C-alpha cells in the first residue's frame, strides 16, 4: 500500500468512479501532484453495487454534454490505460406511452444531433427490429440511442485510477480523512496515517459527502435513497437469440412505468424507480453508520411488485426466469437529482464532485468538468445545472432534502413540463405579502426557496397538477397570463418579487474596483444601469443591476438563484488589501414591480417622490410613512418602477399602492407574464440567454462594453474576438410556431444545416407573436434572414428581426 505523502497540490476525498475520474483528468491536465484518499478500498461506496448503465440521454443540455463525453471516453479507455474493461455498447430503446413523451424524445433527438449524436425515433411497428421480445400494442413510439450501453463500474474505476497513477498521481487506500483545518492558505488534512497539506481539496465522497462536508464547515444539500434492482437467471430463449444475433439486446427503459430492463449475460437486470420509495439514514433510529463499505440494505421486494408485473407484461420472457439476486444499496440524491460539481460554497480552494445519482454514466464528464474548475477556475460548458452554488442555506435542511430526494426518485423519468411546478419541499421562504397575493389566486413556484406568483387563477380554473402536464402553450393559465400582460400594457400591473439577491458594496476604492471588473461604465450617483461581468475568455459570467447611491457606495442587484454564485464571484475578485466591504443584504429587502401607463398616477396618490425623474434613476422616498427606494426601471418594458422595501415595511407599502391602484385598473401579474413581456423587449434572462456558453460580444451586448477603459476583466479576449469577428450572434426571431413555443436549446436550421440554437422562447401577448431569442451563425444574423426552428421534432419558419425590441422599439412607452 502506498505511503501517504506530506504534501500535494490537490487531495481528492473518495475513491469511487467520480473520484478516480477527477484524479485522472487532473493528471491529464498536467497536475500530477495529486492524491486520492479512500477510507476503504476503491469502489467501496455506491460504485461497487451500481448497475453500470451508460446512457447519453438527458433533457439537460449540459448533462447531455457530460454523459456524451463519458460514453466517448469509455470506448477507448481500456486500451488507453492498458486495463481490461467490459464495456458493452448495446444501444437502448426508451419507450413512450403518450404524445407528450414522444415530444420529449423528439426534443432530445434534436439536442443530440447538435452534439453530434445520431439518435432516432422508432414507430411501434419498428421497435421489434431492435427488441424482438417486446409487447408494443399500447405504445406511441420510442427513442433509439445507439450510444447507450453498460460498463463494469469496478473495472471503470480501476482503469481511471491506473491511468492517473501512470501519469504520476497517487492513490492511498484505507486512509479516511478525519479532520481538516486551514493553515497558511493551505488545507491540512488529518488521517490515521498522518497529515497531508494541500492547496486544493475535492469532496468526492459519494453518499458520505455530507459527513465529509462537515469537516470544512459545509452542510451539503443531499439525502440517501435505497435503490433496488433484481437479477434474473438465464432465459433460454434470450440466450438462443443473443448467440444467433452475436450481441446483447439494447437496454430497455419504460420511462412511463419507471424502470429499466437490461440483458445481463443471458439473464436480465430489472431496476425500478418506485413511487413508494424509501430514504435511509434520516431518523434517529436509522443513523448513518461510520462505515458502510461493500454493504447493502435488506431486500424489500414488496415495493417492486407492481414494476415486476408491468415488466413481465412488457417483455413476457422475463416471466419465465427465476430471480437469482436482489441488490439494495444507497444512492445519494441532491434536491433536484443533479450532482454537485464545482466550487464548495463559502470554502476557499475547496470543490465538490459528489451526490451523483447516475455516477457511472456521468463520471467521465464529471472528472473533466472538475479538473477544469480546479486548474482553470472555469469550465468549457456552462455547468450551472450541477453547480453547488445553485442552492443556498435553505436547501441544507434535512427535511427539505429528504422530501425533494424522494420526489425526484419517485419521478426519475418524469417529463419537466414548462408550467408544472413540483410540490414537495415548498414554502421555505415566503414574501411579506404572500398571504395577500395567495388570496388573489396566485399559483406559486420557488426561486432559491422564495415562493413567487407565476400566474393568477380565477375561481373555477383548473389548477390541478394534471392540467400542467403538457408542452402546449395553451392551458388554464393562458387566458390569465394574457389578461395580466394586457393589464400591464393598458393600465398597470404589480408583481411581488421577493428574493432578489442584493449586495452592498461600500468604502474607499469601490468605484474603481467595480469599473475594473465590469465590461461597461459605472453609473453616476442617483443612476442605475446594467453591468456585465466577463471571465478572462470574455464569456458572460453574470449580469447585475448597479445602483449607485454615492461615490464608492453601491447596491448590486441580481437574480434570486444567483445569490451564492454572484457573491462568490465578487469576493473572488476583491483585492486582499481592499478597504471597501461587500455585504450580502438579500434577506433584509423585498421588491415589487409596478408597471404600466397608469403606474405614475398610482404612485402620485401615495408618495411625494419626484415622478418626473427619468428612466434609469432612483430615489429614496416614503409610502404609508415607510422608507423605500423607488427605481425607474421596468423589466416588463412599460412605464414603471421597482419598489425596493425593507422586509418589515413591505406589506404596508403594498397595501397602500394596491388600494390606490384599484380605480386605475391595477391588477396583479406573475412571473409567467413577466417572461412574455421581457422577451418582447429582447431582455436577456440569466443562465439561458446569459451564460458562459457565450461571450459578451456573441450575446449582442456590445453597447455595454467601454473599450476606452485601460482594462477590465476579459478585455484582452474580447478585443481579440472583435478583431477576428464573432462566430455567432444573438438574434430575436419571430417564429411561425404551432402549439408550442421554442424551448431552450432548440436547433436552428438554414439550407439543411444546423446554424445555431435558441436560448429562450415564449409567446408575446402584446405583439401576438411566438418569439425566440437565440444564437445564430454570424453571417445569417442580418434582419430578414429566414431560418427554421426545430420544436419537438418539427421545423417552423422563423425570421431574424432588427436589433431592437419587437415591442416599443424606440422605448417611448418605457421612458414616458
Q: Note the Cα 431 to chain centre separation in Å.
A: 24
Mean pLDDT of the chain: 97
113: Cα within 13 Å, side-chain hemisphere: 23
Cα separation, 343 vs 334, whole angstroms: 16
How far apart, in Å, are the Cα atoms of 72 and each of 12, 153, 283, 365, 756? 24, 16, 41, 10, 24
> How many residues belong to the chain?
816
Cα separation, 446 vs 798, whole angstroms: 33
Scored b (16 or more CB within 10 A) or e, 592-628 reads: bbbbbbbbbbbbeebbebebeeeebbbbebebbebeb
How far apart, in Å, are the Cα atoms of 206 and each of 338, 339, 658? 13, 10, 50
Q: Which of 585, 564, 572, 204 is nearest to 396 (CA)?
A: 564
Q: Which of 112, 285, 783, 769 is nearest to 485 (CA)?
A: 769
Give pTM, 2 decimals.
0.96
Pairing of strands 7-13, 194-203: parallel
Pairing of strands 223-232, 87-88: unpaired
Q: How confident is the model at residue 1 (pLDDT cuts 50, 70, 90)?
A: low
Secondary structure (H, E, C), 115-141: CCCCCEEECHHHHHHHCCCCCCCCCCE
Grid coordinates in use for 801? 428581426
Query: What pLDDT, on a 0 to 100 scale, did the predictor assign at position 798?
Result: 98
* Segment 469-517, tens digit of pLDDT: 999 999 999 999 999 999 999 999 999 999 999 999 999 999 999 999 9
Cα separation, 316 vs 314, whole angstroms: 6
The strand pairing partners of 182, in sequence order, are 187
Cα separation, 286 vs 78, whole angstroms: 40
Grid coordinates in use for 595? 408597471
Cα separation, 549 vs 527, whole angstroms: 8
Secondary structure (H, E, C), 36-73: EECCCCCCCCHHHHCCCECCCCCCCHHHHHHHHHHHHH
Q: Where are the beta strands (DSSP E) in 164-214?
A: 170-172, 179-183, 186-191, 194-203
Place of cell 407528450: 100
Q: How confident is the model at residue 628 (pLDDT cuts 50, 70, 90)?
A: very high
Query: What pLDDT, on a 0 to 100 scale, did the predictor assign at position 671?
Result: 98
For 300, counting Cβ atoms within 10 Å of its Cβ (0-12 exposed, 13-18 middle, 19+ buried), the class is middle
Lowest mean pLDDT among 286-295, 339-348, 436-445, 695-704: 286-295
Secondary structure (H, E, C), 789-804: EEECCEEEEEEECCCC
Q: How confident is the model at residue 800 (pLDDT cuts 50, 70, 90)?
A: very high
Q: Rg of the chain over CA atoms, in angstroms?
A: 27
Grid coordinates in use for 453? 406568483
> Within 10 Å of residue 71's Cβ, how many Cβ atoms?
22
* Segment 186-236, tens digit of pLDDT: 999 999 999 999 999 999 999 999 999 999 999 999 999 999 999 999 999
DSSP H or E stretch at residue 272: strand 267-272
> Within 10 Å of residue 574's Cβ, how many Cβ atoms?
17
SS3 195: strand
> Is the pLDDT reported for residue 54 higher than 90?
yes
> Is the pLDDT reported for residue 652 higher than 70?
yes
Query: What pLDDT, on a 0 to 100 scale, did the predictor assign at position 2?
Result: 78
> Within 10 Å of residue 703's Cβ, how many Cβ atoms?
9
Grid coordinates in use for 410? 419517485
Average pLDDT over residues 270-291: 93
Query: What pLDDT, on a 0 to 100 scale, did the predictor assign at position 649?
Result: 98
CA geometry: angle 125, 127, 131, nearest 5 deg: 140
Q: Where are the beta strands (DSSP E) in 305-375?
A: 323-333, 340-343, 350-354
Q: How confident is the model at residue 43 (pLDDT cuts 50, 70, 90)?
A: very high
Cα separation, 607 vs 463, whole angstroms: 37
Amino acid at each position: 500500500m502506498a505511503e501517504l505523502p506530506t504534501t500535494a497540490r490537490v487531495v481528492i476525498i473518495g475513491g469511487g468512479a467520480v473520484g478516480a475520474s477527477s484524479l485522472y483528468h487532473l493528471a491529464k491536465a498536467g497536475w500530477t501532484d495529486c492524491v486520492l484518499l479512500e477510507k476503504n478500498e476503491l469502489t467501496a461506496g455506491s460504485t461497487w453495487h451500481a448497475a453500470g448503465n451508460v446512457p447519453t440521454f438527458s433533457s439537460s443540455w449540459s448533462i447531455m454534454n457530460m454523459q456524451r463525453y463519458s460514453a466517448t471516453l469509455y470506448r477507448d479507455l481500456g486500451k488507453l490505460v492498458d486495463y481490461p474493461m467490459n464495456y458493452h455498447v448495446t444501444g437502448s430503446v426508451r419507450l413512450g406511452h403518450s404524445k407528450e413523451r414522444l415530444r420529449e424524445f423528439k426534443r432530445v433527438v434534436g439536442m443530440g444531433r447538435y452534439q453530434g449524436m445520431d439518435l432516432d425515433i422508432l414507430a411501434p411497428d419498428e421497435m421489434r427490429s431492435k427488441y424482438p421480445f417486446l409487447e408494443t400494442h399500447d405504445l406511441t413510439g420510442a427513442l433509439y440511442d445507439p450510444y447507450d450501453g453498460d460498463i463494469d463500474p469496478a473495472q471503470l474505476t480501476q482503469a481511471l485510477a491506473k491511468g492517473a497513477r501512470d501519469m504520476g498521481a497517487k492513490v492511498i487506500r484505507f486512509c479516511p480523512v478525519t479532520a481538516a483545518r486551514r493553515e497558511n492558505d493551505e488545507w491540512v488534512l488529518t488521517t490515521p496515517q498522518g497529515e497531508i497539506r494541500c492547496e486544493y481539496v475535492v469532496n468526492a465522497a459519494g453518499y458520505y459527502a455530507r459527513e465529509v462536508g462537515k469537516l470544512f464547515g459545509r452542510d451539503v444539500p443531499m439525502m440517501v435513497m435505497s435503490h433496488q434492482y433484481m437479477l434474473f437467471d438465464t432465459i433460454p430463449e434470450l440466450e438462443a437469440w443473443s448467440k444467433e444475433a452475436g450481441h446483447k439486446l439494447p437496454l430497455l427503459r419504460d420511462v412511463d412505468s419507471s424502470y429499466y430492463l437490461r440483458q445481463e449475460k443471458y439473464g436480465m437486470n430489472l431496476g425500478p424507480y418506485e413511487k413508494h420509495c424509501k430514504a435511509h439514514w434520516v431518523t434517529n433510529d436509522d443513523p448513518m453508520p461510520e462505515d458502510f463499505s461493500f454493504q447493502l440494505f435488506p431486500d424489500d421486494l414488496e415495493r417492486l411488485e407492481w414494476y415486476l408485473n408491468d415488466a413481465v407484461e412488457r417483455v413476457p420472457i422475463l416471466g419465465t426466469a427465476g430471480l437469482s439476486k436482489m441488490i439494495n444499496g444507497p444512492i445519494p440524491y441532491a434536491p433536484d437529482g443533479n450532482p454537485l460539481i464545482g466550487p464548495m460554497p463559502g470554502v476557499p480552494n475547496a470543490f465538490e464532485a459528489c451526490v451523483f445519482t447516475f455516477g457511472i454514466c456521468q463520471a467521465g464528464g464529471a472528472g473533466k468538468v472538475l479538473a477544469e474548475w480546479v486548474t482553470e477556475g472555469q469550465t468549457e460548458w456552462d455547468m450551472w445545472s450541477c453547480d453547488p452554488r445553485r442552492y443556498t442555506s435553505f436547501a441544507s435542511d434535512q427535511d427539505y432534502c429528504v422530501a425533494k430526494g424522494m420526489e425526484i426518485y419517485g419521478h426519475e423519468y418524469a417529463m419537466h413540463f414548462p408550467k408544472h411546478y413540483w410540490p414537495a419541499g415548498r414554502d421555505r421562504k415566503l414574501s411579506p405579502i404572500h398571504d395577500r397575493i395567495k388570496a388573489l389566486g396566485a399559483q406559486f413556484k420557488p426561486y432559491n426557496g422564495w415562493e413567487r406568483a407565476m400566474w393568477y387563477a380565477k375561481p373555477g380554473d383548473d389548477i390541478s397538477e394534471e392540467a400542467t402536464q403538457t408542452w402546449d402553450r395553451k392551458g388554464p393559465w393562458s387566458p390569465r397570463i394574457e389578461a395580466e400582460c394586457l393589464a400591464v400594457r393598458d393600465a398597470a400591473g404589480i408583481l411581488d418579487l421577493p428574493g432578489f439577491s442584493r449586495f452592498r458594496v461600500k468604502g474607499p476604492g469601490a468605484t474603481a474596483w467595480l469599473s475594473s471588473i465590469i465590461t461597461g461604465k459605472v453609473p453616476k450617483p442617483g443612476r442605475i444601469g446594467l453591468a456585465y461581468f466577463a471571465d478572462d475568455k470574455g464569456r458572460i459570467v453574470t449580469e447585475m443591476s448597479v445602483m449607485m447611491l454615492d461615490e464608492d457606495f453601491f447596491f448590486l442587484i441580481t437574480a434570486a438563484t444567483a445569490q451564492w454564485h454572484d457573491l462568490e464571484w465578487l469576493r473572488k475578485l476583491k483585492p486582499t488589501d481592499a478597504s471597501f466591504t461587500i455585504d450580502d443584504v438579500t434577506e433584509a429587502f423585498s421588491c415589487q414591480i409596478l408597471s404600466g401607463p397608469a403606474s405614475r398616477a398610482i404612485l402620485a396618490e401615495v408618495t411625494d417622490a419626484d415622478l418626473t425623474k427619468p428612466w434609469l434613476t432612483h430615489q429614496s422616498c416614503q409610502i404609508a410613512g415607510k422608507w423605500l427606494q423607488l427605481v425607474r426601471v421596468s423589466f416588463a418594458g412599460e412605464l414603471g418602477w421597482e419598489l425596493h422595501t425593507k422586509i418589515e415595511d413591505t406589506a404596508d407599502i403594498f397595501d397602500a399602492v394596491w388600494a390606490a391602484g384599484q380605480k386605475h385598473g391595477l391588477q396583479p401579474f406573475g412571473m409567467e407574464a413577466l417572461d412574455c413581456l421581457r422577451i418582447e423587449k429582447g431582455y436577456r434572462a440569466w443562465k439561458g440567454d446569459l451564460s458562459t456558453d457565450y461571450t459578451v460580444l456573441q450575446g449582442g451586448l456590445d453597447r455595454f462594453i467601454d473599450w476606452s477603459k485601460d482594462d477590465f476583466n476579459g478585455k484582452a479576449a474580447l478585443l481579440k474576438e472583435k478583431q477576428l469577428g464573432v462566430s455567432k450572434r444573438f438574434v430575436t426571431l419571430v417564429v411561425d410556431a404551432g402549439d408550442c413555443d421554442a424551448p431552450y436549446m432548440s436547433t436552428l436550421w438554414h439550407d439543411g444545416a444546423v446554424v445555431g440554437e435558441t436560448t429562450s422562447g415564449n409567446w408575446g401577448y402584446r405583439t401576438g407573436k411566438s418569439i425566440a431569442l437565440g444564437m445564430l451563425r454570424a453571417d445569417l444574423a442580418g434582419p430578414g434572414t429566414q431560418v427554421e426552428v426545430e420544436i419537438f421534432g418539427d421545423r417552423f419558419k422563423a425570421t431574424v428581426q432588427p436589433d431592437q425590441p419587437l415591442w416599443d422599439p424606440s422605448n417611448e412607452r418605457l421612458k414616458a
